[in-house]
Structure 1
Amino acid sequence: MFTSFSWLHVEVLLQGLVWTVVLSIISFVFGGIFGFAVSLAGISKNKALVRLADAYIVLVQGTPVLILMFLVYFGLPILNIEVSSLFAASIAMTIFASAFLGAIWRGSLQSVSRTQWEASDCLALTGLQGLWLVIVPQAVRIATPPTVGFMVQIVKNTSLASIIGMAEMTYIGKEINASTFQPFTTYLVIALFYFCICFPLSAASRKFERMYNVGHR
Structure 2
Amino acid sequence: MSLRDFGPNELMFLLLATRWTILLALIAFAGGGLIGLLVAAIRVAPARPLRWLAAGYIQFFMGTPILIQLFMAYYGSSFLGYRPDPWVAAAVTFSLNGGAFFGEIFRGAIEAIPKGQWEAATALGFRFTRTLRLVIIPQAVRLMLPPTVGFMVQIVKTTSIASLIGLTELARAATQVNTVTFQPVMVFGTVSLIYFALCWPLSLYAGYLERRFATGMTRKVEAPLVMSAV
Query: For this structure pair, what is the TM-score category when the shorter chain's length is used for normalisation?
Result: over 0.9
* SS class of match (2:75): helix
2:39 equivalent to 1:38: yes
2:206 equivalent to 1:205: yes
CA distance in 2, matches of 1:182, 1:15: 19
- TM-score when normalising by structure 2: 0.91
Contact kept, 8 Å, 1:28 with 1:94, in 2: the verdict is yes
* SS class of match (1:44): coil
The equivalences for 1:1-217 within 5 A come to 1-213=2-214, 216=218
1:35 counterpart letter in structure 2 = G
Superposed CA deviations along residues 94-128 of structure 1, whole A, max 9, x for unmatched, are 11100000111011111110011112223333332
CA distance in 1, matches of 2:55, 2:130: 25
* SS class of match (1:3): coil
* SS class of match (1:45): coil
- Unaligned runs of 5+ residues in structure 2 are 220-230
- Unaligned runs of 5+ residues in structure 1 are none
The alpha-carbon distance between structure 1 residues 119 and 215, as it changes in their structure 2 partners (threshold 3 A), is closer
The alpha-carbon distance between structure 1 residues 149 and 110, as it changes in their structure 2 partners (threshold 3 A), is same
**Aligned sequence identity (%):** 38
CA distance in 1, matches of 2:129, 2:56: 25
1:202 counterpart letter in structure 2 = S
Cα RMSD for the two superposed structures = 1.3
Contact kept, 8 Å, 1:209 with 1:215, in 2: the verdict is no
Per-residue deviation, 1:215: 6.3
Superposed CA deviations along residues 163-215 of structure 1, whole A, max 9, x for unmatched, are 11100000010000000000111011111111111111111111001111166
Contact kept, 8 Å, 2:39 with 2:54, in 1: the verdict is yes
Q: Provide the aligned length of Structure 1 versus Structure 2.
A: 217
Contact kept, 8 Å, 2:44 with 2:51, in 1: the verdict is yes
